[in-house]
Amino acid sequence: MVIMLKLRDFFKENKVSFIFFLIINLTYLLVFLSFDLEKFPIFYGFLINFFIFLAYFIYKYFNQDAPTFVEISKNPSQREKIILDEFENLDKKYKSLLLSYNNMEGDMKDFYGLWIHEIKTPIAENNLVLADSSPDFDQLRKNNKRIEEYLNILLGFVRFNSKTNDYVFKSLVIDSLVREIIREKSYDFISKKISLDVGDLGFMTVTDEKWLGFIISQLLNNALKYTKTGGKIKIYFENGSLIIEDNGIGIKATDLPRVFEMGYTGENGRKFGSSTGLGLYLVKSIGDDLNLGIKIESKEGKFTKIMLNFPKLTKL
């Protein structure tokens, strides 16, 4: 099949030469026939011409130079068009992958730079506390919680950017997952005297339990962080969305459109000095992968409400 295609392309490329060959031989025959010469010399001369041209074409076929990419692209055969189209598609995919890799590499450098900068603060504070003759163990505990939080963010980022995110989608009960996360953060609720109001969370969905747990944990961390002592946090469902609402310091209206950007802390984040600008960036990125809609409503000094929308829920 390949040989036939090559021969067809060869004949197509040398069409003019073949036509010239036929004209020469026809002229030869007409000349000899017009003079009424013997048939044998006519036939013999025709064979000589035929073998001369055949030898020429065989030599040209086996010694033809391979066409360059530019020559092929100017006047491609049907088979070459298919190959060129495939090459063009592969080139586009390569450029797209290269761009994605460069963007990912830039994001990773930015993330690690921010993360290292942030984690140094609680470590330095712990060193100062331990240098005191009467260490403040409560402060040590708080700083250790911050370090643990930063480590969880780093682990989440590394896993998310590894492109082997090991998503495992299965049915899970949201109430059980949320209550487990609340238990893990019980010390933060108690130490800040924050009351908790948990509504009816009896819903089932299909998603990745580990990554959904990461998202809810990060959102609850933010609520605890920016809710003042004696404040209140509510967790409930409304219109197919899991809502985490607090009556903390809120977010400025000018900061709301940028809260999911990497490294963006906003005015309140800078004021309180405990925001990395990394948690919500990861929440949004992972949420997109899990097909979860995430929206934030807030009024500075009043409340912050984060809505996590699930595409499909089953009431238990």
pLDDT tens digits, residue range 14-69? 666 667 777 776 776 676 666 666 666 666 666 776 677 667 666 666 665 555 55
Q: Could you say which of 3.30.43.10, 3.30.470.10, 3.40.50.720, 3.30.565.10 is the CATH number of the domain covering 167-316?
A: 3.30.565.10
Closest by alpha carbon to 279, among 72, 114, 87, 32?
114
* Residue 42, token pair as written in the block: 């006519």
User: 112: which residues sit within 8 A by CB, 6+ positions away?
Assistant: none
| Rounded-to-10 torsion of CA 47, 49, 50, 53 | 160
**At residue 253, what are phi and psi to the nearest 5 degrees?**
-60, -35
pLDDT at 273 > cutoff 70: no
Side chain identity, residue 159: R
Report the Cα 202 to chain-centroid distance in Å. Answer: 33
DSSP state letter for 40: H
Q: Which residues pair with 315 in a beta bridge?
A: 203
Higher pLDDT, 62 or 129: 129
How far apart CA 158 and CA 153 sit, in angstroms, is 9
For the chain, the average pLDDT equals: 77
Tokens matching residue 55: 């030898």
pLDDT band, very low/low/confident/very high, at 179 (cuts 50, 70, 90): very high
Query: Are residues 180 and 159 in contact, defined by beta-carbon separation less than 8 angstroms?
Result: no
| pLDDT-derived band at 183, boundaries 50, 70, 90 | very high
**Which residue ranges make up each domain of the chain?**
2-64, 167-316
pLDDT tens per residue across span 279-298: 888 889 889 989 999 999 99
Q: Which long-range contacts (CB under 8 A, 24 or more apart) does 104-110 make?
A: 104/161, 107/161, 107/262, 108/161, 110/262, 110/263
Rounded Cα–Cα distance for residues 38 and 46 (Å):
13
Query: What mean pLDDT do residues 224-242 have?
Result: 92
CA end-to-end distance (rounded Å), the chain:
63
Picking from 14-18, 147-151, 152-156, 183-187, which range would have the lowest pLDDT averaged per residue? 14-18
Beta-strand runs (E) in 147-276: 169-173, 195-198, 203-208, 232-238, 241-246
Q: Which one has a higher pLDDT value, 299 or 6?
A: 299
**Per-range mean pLDDT, top range of 46-50, 79-83, 133-137:** 133-137
Instruction: Quote the pLDDT of residue 65.
Output: 57
* The one-letter amino acid at 161: N
Name the pLDDT band for 163 (thresholds 50, 70, 90): low
Whether 155 has a pLDDT exceeding 80, the answer reads no
Q: How is residue 69 written in tokens?
A: 């990419």
